[in-house]
Chain A
Amino acid sequence: MSTGHGRGRLSNLTPQEVVGGLLLAGIGILVLDLVRLVVTGELPLGRLWSYTWNGIVDSLYIGLAAIGLSMTYSILRFANFSHGDLVTTGAFSGWTVAYLIGGLGVADLSSRLLLRADGGAQPGSVGMDVLSAPIAILVGLVISAIVTILVALAIDRLVYRRLRDAGGIPLLIASVGVALALRYLIAFVYTTDTRIVVASPPQPELPAAIQSVVPMETINLHEATLVISALALIIGVHLLLQYTKLGKSMRAMSDNKDLALITGIPTERVIFATWVIGSGLAGVAGYLIVLDRGQITINLGWFLLLLIFAAVILGGIGSIYGALAGSLVIGLTINLSLVWIPADLNEIAAFTLMILVLIFKPDGLFSGVETA
């Protein structure tokens, strides 16, 4: 859209370059100010570390969801607004199973089946933390992925398959419809109440060896579970896409669907794999967010969706490493910005950054790195 500007003009600076320069200068000033704050002791190192750590935790669950969104965006070629509600689906289905198993014999079936919709089955009394009910929570994690995959495949068959050739905007609009229907079907069963479903996390002291490296004395085991599960999944997806034929087919398809068809790539099977990987990761992300935050609500994924989009767009659509890098930028932005601005403005900082980067580099920071 900016073809009217640029090369060969008298002025060498395009508006993009001006915005990009200002953006870099702004980031430079903030980094210098950060150094000044730390040196003068206005910002204790411990607080800076806790912001950074929270940023990494946030970026990991945003990243899990962003991989799926980026994959569907590049292979099915539409902005999937129902992706956030796949995150919600994973959260509700996974925790329901965790309660069914973990609360066996402790709480009555109806409170466990409906995730405390009637207020029964206190998380503390059921023992909903990773030390008291490790098996229940692990099974819940697996089930959250499986149920979300099944739901996504059913939606694809019912809705998106009929619209394969419809173009980006009709698919986007249909995905808004899917998002609404899915979210409020969940609300029909589980009610719209926000509730606590996870007990307070165990916080054991870290071994002295680790304490000397990072400025943390205790570790929140739920956050640690989130970080380890997310990293394991990300590495798994990396290996899968880098070293199998599936990854190659996906790269081919996101590059040119017709050419991929001619070459004999089974495009429907690639789309199937895309949904399995993308929605599975989204479901796990939802499950882990609840493990970290402790509370569950039907708007969980919907409120997260714009941040996920911001991460995908920052990284450049079509590149899962871009999506991960974008998630890191977004996660660090919403936490490190707390050094300068109040907490209720941090998402504004993330969205502003997204918009500025879009002007500066309309194809995202990592466009050109086509890695499926």
Chain B
Amino acid sequence: MSDASETIDELRAKVTDNDLPQWATDLLLIAAFVAATFAGFAIVGLLTGVGLNETVGFMRLVTFFAAVYALVVLALNLHWGYTGLFNIGVAGFMAVGVYTMAILTASPDGSPAGLGLPIPIGVIGGMLASGLVGLVVSLPALRVRADYFAIVTLGFSEIIRLALLSGSLRSVEVGGTEYGTGGGSGISYTPVDSVIPWLLDVPGIGFVGDQFFAIGEMAGIQSSIIQSGLYTGVLIAFVVLFYLFLTRIAYSPFGRVLKAIREDELAARSLGKNTDRMKITVFVVGCMLMGLAGILWMGSQSRVNPDSFMPIVTFYIFVALIVGGSGSNTGSIVGAFAFAAFLWQGPRFIRSIVRANVDVRSPQTVYDAFLELASGDPLPMLGYVIGTLDELRFVLVGVVLIVLMIWKPDGLLGHRKELAAATDISRRPTATDGGETDE
């Protein structure tokens, strides 16, 4: 991670030495970070013989995960980064959005049946449902102290997941049709990425899309891959929208109060701000964004089940936010990308490299691997490590979290945390003559 941090520092030094506005330098920063990472992976991939197809597929996955994580991380940044609400029920709010969307759009002939409504109505309905649940949760949750708040939101998220999983809501008969959540097997619905063929029929966009397909055909890439690539493009467009919306909030008078709540709620209250109502508002808005993010993420599959919303998902999102640095929207996006590229897909890339170069077989247990290691053959141990890489990836995530908390609690871009005050009083140079110039 320190490499990534240094790279970012260098990039920042390069891009901040000009007169561009803040958003443009931030865009450059993100683009440069993404380009440098992808170039690095491409070079390493090609040199170690992973192959072009696999490297491109890897980058496609990284882009997809970076985009969906960026969406949720941005929403969470509104809660935790700006307002200081330690919400660890993110998975639950995503679940509400996705399930509402699923029930609204699923085919009326399916099992469990849905209402068969068009996708945009499903998306809006999902957002509204997440916001509504957010409102219900915020009423009790905001009354208790900060660390209880965390546990209450986690409790609510588990209540939501267990309710979706339970047999009682599996199927409910209304007017002769079986509606419901489908219990553990989940519910199938029209995937959100079916907007792509629809988008391609729109004249202007359709023309651009055709060019993509033409280029793809020349390069020998299947049209289904191009379609999913285009959906990733839609996700990136949503990331930009989220970014603009949240930055707009952050610099509004409302946003300044949010930051004031984060820094000192009592002070904000004594200045006459209705902090309770503002916390509820920001909680509901954040939950709606989480619902939308969940829909865009999970909605591109055609089936959803409660296992996608385990509490651990919330913690991945927190890791991504903390890697990037909470309190900064640019940091949120950088963090989401760093998480997707290095922590999430990176270990799998290493597995591809090892498999491309060494013929490893994985012994059944770590005991067998140690036996072979003791007899002088390290390959089975390597094979075991590669075989259990999905588990070791969690160890890596955990260690990164601990290391960040001990040595760099602000994350990569946390020093850019926006303060409530218009000027940063805490960093006033001490060399002035006691600040007497004010008089």
Interface on A for B, CB 8 Å cutoff? Answer: 1-2, 4, 78-79, 109-110, 113-114, 117-118, 159, 162-163, 166, 168-174, 176-185, 187-189, 191-192, 306, 309-310, 313, 341-342, 344-345, 347-348, 351-352, 354-356, 358-359, 362
Contact = CB atoms under 8 A, between A and B. Distances in A.
B347 to A, nearest CB: 12
Contacts of A166: 405, 409
Given A170-B409, A177-B402, A352-B159, A114 B367 contact: yes
Contacts of A341: 168
B365 A118 contact: yes
A174 B401 contact: yes
A309 B148 CA distance: 10
B168 A345 contact: yes
Given A180-B394, A351-B158, A174 B406 contact: yes
Going nearest first, the 9 A-B pairs with the smallest beta carbon separation are A177-B401, A181-B398, A180-B398, A184-B394, A174-B405, A177-B402, A110-B367, A351-B155, A177-B398
Given A182-B398, A359-B143, A362-B144, 4 more contacts: A173-B401, A188-B391, A344-B162, A362-B145
Nearest to B184: A344
Contacts of B163: 345, 348
B59 interface: no
A4 B151 CA distance: 23
A184 B150 contact: no
Nearest to B163: A348
Nearest to B315: A176
Contact of A178 (B147, B276, B402): B402
Given A114-B365, A188-B395, A355 B406 contact: no
A162 B311 CA distance: 27
B179 interface: no
A189 B167 contact: no
Contacts of B399: 177, 181
B interface, by DSSP: helix, strand, loop or mixed?
Answer: helix
B387 to A, nearest CB: 10
Interface in B346-399: 364-368, 388, 391-395, 397-399
Contacts of A178: 398, 402
12 contacts: A78-B147, A79-B147, A179-B398, A181-B395, A184-B393, A187-B391, A188-B395, A310-B151, A342-B166, A344-B165, A351-B159, A358-B140
B318 interface: yes
B149 to A, nearest CB: 9
Contacts of A358: 140, 143-144, 148, 152
A136 B100 CA distance: 52
A143 to B, nearest CB: 19
Contact of A192 (B147, B391, B400, B401): B391
B142 interface: yes
A110 B370 CA distance: 11
B415 to A, nearest CB: 16
Nearest to A110: B367
Given A181-B402, A362-B144, A348 B391 contact: no
A114 B371 CA distance: 14
Contacts of B405: 163, 166, 170-171, 173-174, 177
Nearest to A352: B159
Name the interface size band of chain B: 35 or more
B322 A173 contact: yes
B395 A169 contact: no
Contact of A1 (B142, B158, B311, B395): B142
Nearest to B384: A188
Contacts of A345: 162-163, 166, 168
A79 B86 CA distance: 13
B7 to A, nearest CB: 23
Given A179-B398, A355-B140, A184 B154 contact: no
B168 A359 contact: no
Contacts of A113: 367
A215 B187 CA distance: 44
B339 interface: no
A362 B151 contact: no
B155 A172 contact: no
A52 to B, nearest CB: 23
Contact of B167 (A191, A344, A348): A344
A297 to B, nearest CB: 13
B156 interface: yes
Q: Which of A79, A182, A306, A348 has the most CB of B within 10 A?
A: A348
B266 to A, nearest CB: 9
Contacts of A78: 147
Contacts of A181: 394-395, 398-399, 402
B162 A180 contact: no
B366 A188 contact: yes
B392 A306 contact: no
Contact of A355 (B152, B166, B311, B400): B152
A300 to B, nearest CB: 15
Contacts of B398: 176-182, 184
A15 to B, nearest CB: 8
B168 A344 contact: yes
Q: Which of A159, A184, A187, A309 has the most CB of B within 10 A?
A: A184
A356 to B, nearest CB: 8
A371 B394 CA distance: 38
Contacts of B391: 184, 187-188, 192
A68 B238 CA distance: 45
B318 A176 contact: yes
A174 B315 CA distance: 11
A305 to B, nearest CB: 9
Contact of A172 (B150, B366, B393, B406): B150
A78 B158 CA distance: 21
Contacts of B166: 342, 344-345, 348
A109 B401 CA distance: 36
Q: Which of A159, A178, A188 has the most CB of B within 10 A?
A: A188
Given A114-B366, A114-B367, A348-B162, A309 B151 contact: yes
Given A110-B368, A177-B398, A181-B402, A355 B156 contact: yes
A184 B158 CA distance: 22
A110 to B, nearest CB: 4
B13 interface: no
B27 interface: no
Contact of B151 (A79, A159, A352, A356): A79
B146 interface: yes
